[in-house]
Amino acid sequence: MSRTHDDLSERALILAPQGRDAFVAARVLGEAGLAAEICKDLADFLRELALGAGAAIVTDEAIRSADLKGLATWVGLQPPWSDLPFILLTERGGGLERNPAAERQTEAIGNVVFLERPFHPTTLISVVKTALRGRRRQYEARARLEALREREGYARSAEMDLRRLNETLEVRVAERAGEIEAANRQLVSQIKERERVESTLRQMQRLEAVGQLTSGVAHDFNNLLTVVLGNLGFIEKGLAGSSDAKLKQRLSHMRLAAERGAKLTAQLLAFSRRQRLEPRPTDLNDALSNMRDLLESSLGGSVQIDTVFRPGLWPAFVDPTQVELVVLNLAINARDASPVGARILLETANVTVGPPEKPEEPPAGEYVVISVTDTGSGMTREVLAQAFEPFFTTKEIGKGSGLGLSQVLGFAKQSGGGMRIETRVGEGTSVRVYLPRAAEATVREIFAIFPDAVRYHRKGAIILLVDDDSAVREVTASILRELGYVVMEVGSGGAALDLLSREATVDLVMLDFAMPGMNGREVARQVHARFPALPVLFVTGYADNSALEEVGDARIIKKPFVGDELVVKVQAALVKGGQGWGGKSSSLVDSRKWSRLQPKGWRLI
């Protein structure tokens, strides 16, 4: 069967002539629905590159001692829009800082990402998908550049026609002068548009790099933090009666550092748009009060922060993590626009607005408003008209990406609100972010539907815990057992389905989303098909927005576990299962019955 150009441009080429790396990588990508082509040697690899590719996976040993002139020539001869992403599989410690040969490889390949072996299959899939997304952006840029060149050709042709007419018919110079000026203006506009597209492409590649970094490490990093925070909780409980205040203080510092690490991962994922929003009723006065130390340390001592928080502020239905990023972004913009020693005012208020007059303004309704006001340089009318455009910035090159206000507006609109800006040149700027008021039914939703959801506790309920990471699984199981549940542990989706087919006594299934082979979503689909009444919770450190778009927030527990989220969502899921949501209530056996079904400490891995 002949292969089309589109098929070739979307495939991943694999050059790994030694060992089984090529076969394993091709199989992993194939299971993820990604096209992959194995090349037997460097010459074959170069031939396939000439036909087309979306990404290239190369092992370190395949090019370590090879003649890279041909590869370097191909890379150098790529058109301006093209920068094929290479994924270099290295041994542990094979990066630039420890491997002098890596610098030579980097110079020859160009756009390269180092991935140490052994690697998690999920990590390889994530890195390849990110590389293919970046390649598709390059194809889009190529199409736009070709369209621009075609229009430039038309403009040059028109200009040449005008010159020929001027040479033969000087009497028509005056009549054609206006047309020539118009053609020149069009040509300048097209050149500026091309420069803007190229600049936008560079900015998008920077964002893809951030997204690639975060998506590659977030899952494993959050698993580590889950183990750290879980074991810290057990240690703190064990030392509850201890009088060693210094030891308790050190444990508190350890917990604070781990929770900050979890928050940092969440912020990075949010910036790269790889994390779903989790709106909930939020007291913005408390949220902004808790940010004061962060704001002061981030802004430095060049400006002072004043706050005016309205008493009786309505709760806002927003993602509190994103609110912190929004306020920090606006505060940094205000500082950059203000002289040294200026004051920045941070305010909250309740407002009711009418129909919007501009696209960025919120729809009519009730909102909680966050205002950030400075006394800096202000904006001209021209700057204000472009303020919300992505990549537009008035800062010096390298000091701003132009994404600040566009990201804030995107969050406000996604949350159901909007923005307004009031500014005067030389007097300052006030940016207002309108966030939707949480309805009373939303604030008390869980109590309205299940009055005893938080207090209800089915001691002895059997929970099937599925996680491929044994350390995370042990911590999670220990927490659940301390709450009085009976926990069955397995290390894969296949083992979970096998156990469910033999035992009909499970009340709740908890699935890690990112697992090799069969991921959590695939397992959940099969569980639902076989046992429609059995409730399922997903436990995840990271997943694409699209991966869990059909799952409500009530069925997702984020790793690491923060606060009482694990306890509340497990209890709520058991309440729903016990009340017959989706079918008959799942069976509940007491601990004596379960003790007859399994030996003490039994686990299926």
Q: Which domain holds residue 402?
A: 280-441
Within a domain: 295: yes
pLDDT tens for 121-151 read: 999 999 999 999 999 998 899 899 889 988 9
Can you give the CATH number for the domain in which 486 is found? 3.40.50.2300
Per-residue confidence (pLDDT) for residue 432, from 0 to 100: 93
pLDDT tens for 196-244 read: 667 656 655 655 565 556 565 666 777 777 778 778 777 877 777 777 7
Is there a contact between 490 and 94 (Cβ–Cβ < 8 Å)? Answer: no
pLDDT for residue 461 is more than 90: no
How large is the C-alpha radius of gyration of the chain?
Answer: 29
Is there a contact between 463 and 488 (Cβ–Cβ < 8 Å)? Answer: yes
Examine the domain organization and report whether 362 and 461 are in the same domain. no
Examine the domain organization and report whether 479 and 429 are in the same domain. no
Helix and strand counts by DSSP (H, E) for the chain: 21, 17
Is there a contact between 486 and 594 (Cβ–Cβ < 8 Å)? Answer: yes
Within a domain: 296: yes
Give whole-number Cα distances, 114 to 260, 316, 512, in Å. Answer: 27, 43, 27
Task: Give the count of domains, the chain.
Answer: 3
Can you give the CATH number for the domain in which 434 is found? 3.30.565.10
pLDDT tens for 154-170 read: 888 888 877 777 767 66
Provide the pairing of β-strand 428-436 with 418-424.
antiparallel
Identify the weakest region by mean pLDDT among 16-25, 131-140, 260-269. 260-269
Examine the domain organization and report whether 540 and 590 are in the same domain. yes
pLDDT tens for 312-337 read: 999 999 988 788 888 888 888 888 88
Q: Is 28 helix (H, G, I), strand (E, B) or coil?
A: helix
Name 123's Cβ contacts closer than 8 Å, sequence gap at least 6.
Answer: 115, 216, 219, 220
Tell me what the mean pLDDT of segment 568-580 comes to.
Answer: 72
What is d(CA 581, CA 570) in angstroms, rounded to the nearest whole number? 15
Within a domain: 132: no
Examine the domain organization and report whether 379 and 463 are in the same domain. no
Residue that is last in its domain, among 441, 462, 488? 441
Give the burial class of 530: count Cβ atoms within 10 A of its Cβ; 0-12 exposed, 13-18 middle, 19 or more buried.
exposed
Residue that is last in its domain, among 381, 406, 441? 441
Examine the domain organization and report whether 472 and 419 are in the same domain. no
Tell me what the mean pLDDT of segment 423-430 comes to.
Answer: 89
Per-residue confidence (pLDDT) for residue 263, from 0 to 100: 67
Write out the two tokens for 506: 């499970």
Per-residue confidence (pLDDT) for residue 543, from 0 to 100: 53
Provide the pairing of β-strand 418-424 with 365-374.
unpaired
Is there a contact between 434 and 420 (Cβ–Cβ < 8 Å)? Answer: yes
DSSP secondary structure, 94-125, as one string: -STTT-HHHHHHHHHH-SEEEEESS--HHHHH
Examine the domain organization and report whether 419 and 560 are in the same domain. no
pLDDT for residue 562 is more than 80: no
The residue among 263 and 392 whose pLDDT is bigger is 263
Q: Among positive and negative, which fits the CA dihedral 268, 270, 271, 272?
A: positive
Within a domain: 530: yes
Per-residue confidence (pLDDT) for residue 70, from 0 to 100: 87
pLDDT tens for 468-527 read: 888 888 888 988 998 889 999 998 888 888 888 887 788 899 998 878 888 888 898 998
Within a domain: 173: no
DSSP secondary structure, 293-319, as one string: HHHHHHHTTSEEEEEEPPTTPPPEEE-
Quick one: pLDDT band at residue 105, thresholds 50, 70, 90?
A: confident
Per-residue confidence (pLDDT) for residue 217, from 0 to 100: 67
Other C-beta atoms lying within 10 Å of the C-beta of residue 510: 26
Per-residue confidence (pLDDT) for residue 452, from 0 to 100: 44
pLDDT for residue 592 is more than 80: no
| Beta strands in 471-565, from DSSP E residues, in sequence order | 486-490, 508-512, 536-540, 556-558
Residue type, 301: G
Examine the domain organization and report whether 466 and 374 are in the same domain. no
What is d(CA 396, CA 405) in angstroms, rounded to the nearest whole number? 16
pLDDT for residue 398 is more than 60: no
The residue among 449 and 436 whose pLDDT is bigger is 436
Per-residue confidence (pLDDT) for residue 267, from 0 to 100: 53
Per-residue confidence (pLDDT) for residue 454, from 0 to 100: 42
Examine the domain organization and report whether 507 and 531 are in the same domain. yes
Write out the two tokens for 215: 């998506």
Q: Among positive and negative, which fits the CA dihedral 95, 16, 514, 228?
A: negative
Examine the domain organization and report whether 318 and 433 are in the same domain. yes
Within a domain: 255: no
Residue that is last in its domain, among 119, 152, 174? 119
Identify the weakest region by mean pLDDT among 102-116, 239-253, 271-285, 316-330. 271-285
What is d(CA 511, CA 521) in angstroms, rounded to the nearest whole number? 8
Examine the domain organization and report whether 543 and 504 are in the same domain. yes
DSSP letter (8 states) at residue 439: P
Within a domain: 239: no
pLDDT tens for 25-56 read: 999 999 999 999 999 998 999 999 989 899 99
Per-residue confidence (pLDDT) for residue 314, from 0 to 100: 94
Averaged pLDDT score across all residues of the chain:
78
Within a domain: 13: yes
Examine the domain organization and report whether 470 and 435 are in the same domain. no
The residue among 373 and 194 whose pLDDT is bigger is 373
Examine the domain organization and report whether 454 and 474 are in the same domain. yes
Length of the chain: 605
What is d(CA 2, CA 4) in angstroms, rounded to the nearest whole number? 7
Give whole-number Cα distances, 578 to 319, 465, 535, in Å. Answer: 30, 19, 9
Q: Is 551 helix (H, G, I), strand (E, B) or coil?
A: coil
Q: Is 420 helix (H, G, I), strand (E, B) or coil?
A: strand
